[in-house]
Structure 1
Amino acid sequence: MRGTDRLSVEFIVLVALLNAMVAMSIDTMLPAIGTIAHELGAADPNSRQYIITTFFAGLTLGTLIYGPWSDALGRKPTIVIGLSFYALGSLICLFSVNFPMILIGRFIQGFGASSPRIVSIAMVRDGQAGAAMARVMSFVMMVFMLVPMLAPSVGTLVLLFVGWRMIFVGFLVVGIVAGLWLWFRQDETLPREKRTPLAVSSLINAAGEVLRNPIAMGYTVGAGTIFGAFIIYLGTSQQVFAELYGQGAYFALWFAFFAGGMAIAMMVNARLVMRYGMRKLSKWSLRGFLTLSAVALVVSLLMGGLPPLWFIAGYLFLSFFCSGLLFGNFNAIAMEPMGRIAGMAAAIIGSLSSLIAILTGGYIGQLYNGTVIPLVAGFAGLGLVTFAVTEWAERHRRR
């Protein structure tokens, strides 16, 4: 991959691999978190959720750091640094002897994984524009949508035949292969003369602009609370479907089904957003999300927290379809007023929305009580908060 051949198949596949590492590192784990928590002596059944949320916590911190680092150090060194942390975290998880140790490893793993996710997109932006960039990103998004559908099945097979520690061996191998592939086969895409010195003051100023701008702040909080609903699902899905509904053998299939709802939404959004606009699509999607959650909450309460499997499955599929329309649009709207400081603002918005998601979704997930009520009520409550903050932002825009 030398010279200007940055649209080669090899480059596209490498970027797709780097971008997919986050989803792979989360979704492959889901079938195994109950077994891991039990074997490592977790004190509470709900503690298994921390295997997911600590990864997101590391990801949140890394999102804030790696973007500015890559602008100062270059893309390749920054990704390799991140992959080194990812490998270290994988090793700690692999050799964990107690539950706190694996949580430390997952935090470090998440911190490392944020680098390839963020900086690989910057690599594409460095060398491409317009249709060429769209071509690369369309393939990347296709891989991004496929990983959640396939990863839990891989995790289930590994858990069944060789045990959960081999999942981390797989993560370690992928991280090493990606790092070597990048270092020896990919040219640096950011020349030295285009790099900018690392300045903490610039990051602080960008944070101030995001916090002071109603549109940026409102939609950042909205993205965080909608993502928080997704965190609730990720944290409790194994408990709900494998244990509450007895679907352990089919957990991966259910997860793929729900991921399909979000994948379909992304494709629909790409077709409709130019016709109807981000705001109108987001408005109706959020209303659909709220209506679905209100109905599901009433039904769940009337049925003692255990509605039929077909009902909860249909509700989650449609909810993820609605949230799939919201994720990309909310982030894009939040970035609209930030053109002058787009790079720094993207780091602030991504980190802040992730932090909100971890705090809200992580807390609600810990309320799991053997029914679906905390899950559905969490979706409804966070949907209401999202509606309130985005309406507040739009009122300021209209003024």
Structure 2
Amino acid sequence: MTDINADAWVSSNHRPMGFPEFVIVIASIMALNPLAMDMMLPALPNIASAFHIAAANRPQAVLSTFLLGFGVGQFVMGPLSDRFGRRPVLLGGMILYVIASVLAIAAPSFETILLARALQGLGTSATRVIATAIVRDCYAGRRMASVMSLAMMVFIAVPVIAPSFGQAVMLLTQWRGIFIVLMLYGVLALIWSALRMPETLPMSERKSLAIPDVLGAFRQTVTNRQTLGYALAAGGVQGSLFAFVFSSQQVFTEIYKLGHYFPVAFAGVAIGVAVAGFLNARFVGRLGMRVISHGALVGFVAVAGIMLFAARMQMLPLPLFLALAALMMFAFGLMFANFTALAMEPQGHIAGTASSLYGSITTLLGIGIGTTIGQDYDGTLLPFATGFFLCTLAALAVVLVVEKGRLFTPHRMVS
């Protein structure tokens, strides 16, 4: 299978659901994760105040704990879905998400909030892994990348509006109201998926949960040069995204004094990712995953270098920061769906386990990087800009190794 013509329709298992509904359902269940993540941004100061949290950077744990549950959960969701099928694991994860949301609504302490957030993350790990596996069950190559990009366009639009939506909820009620909204969305997504999402993994293709078999599937995943390399690269660039999310409330309210208007600035930056997803879906079939993602990665490094230089020179006013951050998010949007498709392309026979391990690697690596950068926040943009530049430079180095120096060139899959 080549990057040039690997656009095959692998299965029609998603019928009787039509193609548009298939994309929307995939996007809606994937959106559980960013909605639960980014709606919380405006609430962090209020949660800190409610539970008397004095340490300035500690409220970031509301975000990082959620992502930790998300990252760890992905280790088991893939093998479970390869054994029992996609539907039961998907629906079980969504039920857990709803239960965790109820726990958060009634949480009497900050520690209980963190427990609920970890469980929410664990629940959404199923939605992310299963959504990716279902797409891989049905498509391959550029067609898979196109489907992922269309889903990502909806999925990534969520961070654009989620902080503003969270701010609006808090104007009408309080921070616990955000968890009520998350619970209601989870219930609706659960019902839709239960009624409309068919099983896409035939019984004949189910895998054993025996330890040697699971370890063998993990070994096949991590020993594939293309899969592991693009997982590490995606983890590096995702670390910069997590750092932006973790620090954004402090950056926009403390450095740029935007107050309650910070969700507007956040949306202005995040919209670049949504635009990138739309453009990628339109052009990936013509240009290929490598051409688009490699070009975006090189561009990200260049823009991050400009931001680092401006931060060191203390010449980073709000308009310039917004422009550079939006360009980096635009590049991220062009990279991530294609990196995912490139990593998953050789793993059709173990799509659930491969998606699981890929998601864990990228998420946990991203959390480690993002948390390190976020906790280094010192009231300036220097740690933020330095982290962005180093993350993407490392990702570029990894891609160069994986592709043996052949950037921008469609070719047979590297193994």
TM over 0.5: yes
Task: Name the one with the larger helix percent.
Answer: 1
- Name which of 356, 360, 365 aligns with 2:365: 356
Q: 2:344 is paired with a residue of what secondary structure?
A: helix
- Name which of 113, 118, 133 aligns with 1:107: 118
Map of 1:28-67 to 2, 5 A cutoff?
A: 28-67=39-78
Corresponding residue of 2:168 = 157
Deviations 1:331-364 (A, max 9, x none): 2333344454343222212211111111111111
Map of 1:1-399 to 2, 5 A cutoff?
A: 5-7=16-18, 13-123=24-134, 140-183=151-194, 188-190=199-201, 192=203, 194-303=205-314, 307-395=316-404
AA matched with 1:145: I
AA matched with 1:368: Y
AA matched with 2:373: I
AA matched with 2:378: N
Deviations 1:182-234 (A, max 9, x none): 43565545455553333333332233233333333222111101000001001
Corresponding residue of 2:7 = none
CA distance in 1, matches of 2:52, 2:363: 28
Displacement after TM superposition at 1:239 (Å): 0.6
CA distance in 2, matches of 1:278, 1:358: 25
Displacement after TM superposition at 1:70 (Å): 2.2
Cα 1:224–1:126 shift into 2, 3 Å: closer
TM-score (norm 1): 0.88
Unaligned runs of 5+ in 1: none
Q: 1:218 is paired with a residue of what secondary structure?
A: helix
Cα 1:130–1:239 shift into 2, 3 Å: closer
CA distance in 2, matches of 1:223, 1:135: 18
Cα 1:10–1:350 shift into 2, 3 Å: closer
Name whichever of 57-66 and 311-320 sits farther off.
Answer: 57-66
Name whichever of 29-38 and 179-188 sits farther off.
Answer: 179-188
CA distance in 2, matches of 1:228, 1:312: 19
CA distance in 2, matches of 1:219, 1:350: 11
- RMSD between aligned residues: 3.0
Displacement after TM superposition at 1:180 (Å): 3.6
AA matched with 2:403: E
Name whichever of 208-217 and 350-359 sits farther off.
Answer: 208-217
Displacement after TM superposition at 1:307 (Å): 2.1
CA distance in 1, matches of 2:259, 2:123: 30
CA distance in 2, matches of 1:249, 1:219: 38
Unaligned runs of 5+ in 2: 1-13, 407-413
Q: Is the 2:77–2:126 contact (alpha carbons within 8 Å) kept by the matching residues of 1?
A: yes
Give the total of aligned pairs.
395
Displacement after TM superposition at 1:366 (Å): 0.4
Q: Is the 1:7–1:136 contact (alpha carbons within 8 Å) kept by the matching residues of 2?
A: no
Displacement after TM superposition at 1:147 (Å): 1.6
Cα 1:138–1:337 shift into 2, 3 Å: closer
CA distance in 2, matches of 1:367, 1:86: 31
Q: 2:107 is paired with a residue of what secondary structure?
A: coil
Cα 1:349–1:242 shift into 2, 3 Å: same
Q: Percent identity?
A: 38
Q: Is the 1:41–1:98 contact (alpha carbons within 8 Å) kept by the matching residues of 2?
A: no
Deviations 1:114-138 (A, max 9, x none): 2223324545666789999899767
CA distance in 1, matches of 2:190, 2:387: 39
Displacement after TM superposition at 1:38 (Å): 2.7
Cα 1:380–1:67 shift into 2, 3 Å: same
Cα 1:380–1:126 shift into 2, 3 Å: closer
Q: Which has the higher contact order (CA 8 A, sep 6+)?
A: 2
Q: Is the 2:232–2:395 contact (alpha carbons within 8 Å) kept by the matching residues of 1?
A: yes
